[in-house]
């Protein structure tokens, strides 16, 4: 989805002193870019969750035993015994169904436990945590179906406001029959009249709780309300097909105060991710996306811990890198809740009416909130706060970097590194930086050499030689050297420090035709810079070529010295 269509009630005819135009219903008021921040892929993709799960499972099968995923095994509780089982102190109890239908119980000892078990997480309850927040009065119905309609933008993402309510249109994928699904999010109005109420709950809206009203929503009601919003256009299920899925939900934003639990040995061993620690409305597509980002943020830190790659710590002290999982992801969850609250309340309002803030909800205001949220909803504008693995202490590599717009994609610690197109020096092929610095569990030590690269006594060669020494101080394979250089003329490997060919022969790049990575990143070619890219693709620190000692200090806080 590359663009979003906005539809609003037909404007009043100013020539008739504000009297409504003879034409009633809705009209298209704008097309806007779906993703309006710098991104390699400036669009959203709708993929069924089951398909994504299947992709992940097939990949897992390449590396893990066949019985790694155990279907229908239900978590019961966990117990911790650090005194008698110091290495694997967590005892997880579960139950499962046998072939004869009887239920058996089992247990397994583990070093760590991650609860990715949804909004009703039993792991979270065993941790003594609960979701806290608010539930609004806004109720929505959602359904997937093969559509029959004359609405012109049905294959685009649409935000539709009408005088009778709101609808969001999400185009879905092609199914086995060759037809395409469409998802509708349909608002259940809070001020429906008595006739509609009788179809909804058999009595007036007065005194109905949100839960009661949500439970009374039917599929027929969802389509009746959708038809009212889309008028004068018609919409329905294509003849000969059935609705694929539907549900009704009440908007609520909740999160837990903590995402981890420390055992008696002083180590964070139990974690929760995704809906187990934050819930919200589904309309901005953040559920599965933020959950997978939670999981990946935890996974690479956990892998470093398990393999003994993080700095040595005294007994009874928590892993300082693993600790940053909760710091980073609780902050993102709060941003998610704030964004979703604002977006959901505005989407549930009516254009041209007063909102809870007593200000009139205008199309322009709604468009502004949508656009400002693009950096968050796309995932390209997330910002992690300073920590052991997000260092703000380095000298800014250029004045442009220090004052850049937050979502501009310039190099900034705590923000995902922006993709640039490059030309690999060894073979002359065009490459994408995101593909070259793959998420393989390694840190990237990226040197943006300056124009003095070929000067044996210049800052670029001194920085490269210092980076070689840094790499050798830490476990082999944990740091990848990446070199960007701005020169237009060719040079031989013997013209640059030996470490370039030794450590970065296939990760040394020049500027690609039509794209200047230095200009994109705001780095002056006469200055250059050193950038540390974390295993998850986020910038860990940024410094001048003349400050490699800051880079070494950063790695000492992240990795075990050898």
Sorting pLDDT into bands at 50, 70 and 90, what band is 137? low
Sign of dihedral through CA atoms 317, 322, 328, 333? negative
Burial 397-409 (b: 16+ CB within 10 A, else e): bbebbeebeebeb
Can you name the residues that pair with 209 across neighbouring β-strands? Answer: none
Q: What is the pLDDT of residue 11?
A: 76
Q: Which of 224, 131, 168, 226 is nearest to 346 (CA)?
A: 168
Sorting pLDDT into bands at 50, 70 and 90, what band is 353? low
pLDDT(407) > 70:
no
Name the strand (E) or helix (H) holding 75. strand 73-80
CATH of the domain spanning 399-558: 3.40.30.20
pLDDT(386) > 60:
yes
φ/ψ of residue 213, rounded to 5: -65, -40
φ/ψ of residue 58, rounded to 5: -65, -40
Sorting pLDDT into bands at 50, 70 and 90, what band is 211? low
Q: Which of 375, 372, 291 is nearest to 333 (CA)?
A: 291
CATH of the domain spanning 70-131+256-350: 3.50.50.60
Class of domain 133-252: alpha beta
- Two structure tokens written together for 18: 């504000």
Mean model confidence pLDDT for the chain: 87
Read off the pLDDT of residues 213-241 as tens digits, 9 standing for 90 and up.
677 899 999 999 999 999 999 999 999 99
- Among the ranges given (108-112, 284-288, 400-404), the one the predictor scored with the smallest mean pLDDT: 400-404
Q: What is the pLDDT of residue 387?
A: 94
Read off the pLDDT of residues 20-62 as tens digits, 9 standing for 90 and up.
444 569 999 999 998 888 888 989 888 888 889 999 999 999 9
Q: What is the pLDDT of residue 197?
A: 44
Specify the higher pLDDT residue, 201 or 224. 224
Mean of pLDDT values over 102-110: 96
Which residue spans of the chain are classified as CATH 3.40.30.20? 399-558
pLDDT(446) > 50:
yes
| Omega before 380 within 30 of 0, i.e. cis | no
pLDDT(276) > 90:
yes
- Two structure tokens written together for 11: 């404007």
Which residue spans of the chain are classified as CATH 3.30.9.10? 133-252
Which residue spans of the chain are classified as CATH 3.50.50.60? 70-131+256-350
- Among the ranges given (173-177, 335-339, 401-405), the one the predictor scored with the smallest mean pLDDT: 401-405
pTM: 0.88
Asked whether the beta carbons of 481 and 504 are under 8 A apart, the reply is: yes
Q: What is the pLDDT of residue 282?
A: 75
pLDDT(204) > 50:
no
Specify the higher pLDDT residue, 314 or 460. 460
Distance of CA 110 to the CA centre of its chain: 28
């Amino acid at each position: 989805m590359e663009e979003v269509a906005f539809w609003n009630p037909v404007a009043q005819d100013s020539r008739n002193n504000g009297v409504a135009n003879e034409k009633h219903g809705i009209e298209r008021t704008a097309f806007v870019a779906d993703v309006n921040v710098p991104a390699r892929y400036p669009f959203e993709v709708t993929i069924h969750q089951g398909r994504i799960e299947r992709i992940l499972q097939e990949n897992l099968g390449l590396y893990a035993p066949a019985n790694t995923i155990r279907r229908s095994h239900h978590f019961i509780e966990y117990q911790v015994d650090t005194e008698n089982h110091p290495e694997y102190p967590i005892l997880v109890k579960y139950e499962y169904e046998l072939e004869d239908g009887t239920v058996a119980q089992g247990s397994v000892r583990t070093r760590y436990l991650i609860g990715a078990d949804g909004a009703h997480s039993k792991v979270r309850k065993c941790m003594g945590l609960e979701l806290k927040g608010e539930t609004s009065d806004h109720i929505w119905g959602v359904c997937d179906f093969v559509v029959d309609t004359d609405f012109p933008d049905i294959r685009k993402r649409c935000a539709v406001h009408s005088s009778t309510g709101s609808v969001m249109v999400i185009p879905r994928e092609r199914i086995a029959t060759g037809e395409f699904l469409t998802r509708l999010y349909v608002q259940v109005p809070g001020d429906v009249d008595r006739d509609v109420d009788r179809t909804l709950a058999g009595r007036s809206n007065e005194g109905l709780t949100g839960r009661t009203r949500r439970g009374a929503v039917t599929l027929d009601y969802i389509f009746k309300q959708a038809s009212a919003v889309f008028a004068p256009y018609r919409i329905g299920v294509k003849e000969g097909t059935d609705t694929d899925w539907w549900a009704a939900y009440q908007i609520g934003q909740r999160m837990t105060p903590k995402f981890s639990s420390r055992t008696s040995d002083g180590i964070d061993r139990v974690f929760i991710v995704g809906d187990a620690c934050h819930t919200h409305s589904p309309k901005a597509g953040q559920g599965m996306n933020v959950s997978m980002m939670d999981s990946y943020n935890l996974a690479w830190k956990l892998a470093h811990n398990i393999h003994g790659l993080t700095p040595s710590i005294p007994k009874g002290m928590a892993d300082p890198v693993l600790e940053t999982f909760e710091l980073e992801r609780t902050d993102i969850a709060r941003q998610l809740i704030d964004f979703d609250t604002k977006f959901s309340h505005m989407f549930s309002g009516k254009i041209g009416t007063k909102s809870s803030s007593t200000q009139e909800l205008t199309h322009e205001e709604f468009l502004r909130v949508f656009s400002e949220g693009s950096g968050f909803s796309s995932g390209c504008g997330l910002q992690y706060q300073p920590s052991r693995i997000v260092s703000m202490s380095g000298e800014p590599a250029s004045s442009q970097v220090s004052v850049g717009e937050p979502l501009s994609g310039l190099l900034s610690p705590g923000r995902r590194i922006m993709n640039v197109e490059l030309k690999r020096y060894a073979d002359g092929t065009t490459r994408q930086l995101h593909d070259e610095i793959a998420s393989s569990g390694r840190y990237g030590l990226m040197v943006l050499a300056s124009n003095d690269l070929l000067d044996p006594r210049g800052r670029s060669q001194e920085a490269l030689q210092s980076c070689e020494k840094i790499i050798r101080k830490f476990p082999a394979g944990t740091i990848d050297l990446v070199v960007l250089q701005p020169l237009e003329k060719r040079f031989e490997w013997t013209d640059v420090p030996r470490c370039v060919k030794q450590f970065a022969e296939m990760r040394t790049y020049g500027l690609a035709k039509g794209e200047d990575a230095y200009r994109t990143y705001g780095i002056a070619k006469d200055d250059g810079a050193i950038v540390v890219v974390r295993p998850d693709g986020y910038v860990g620190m940024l410094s001048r070529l003349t400050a490699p000692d800051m880079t070494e200090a950063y790695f000492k806080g992240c990795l075990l010295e050898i």
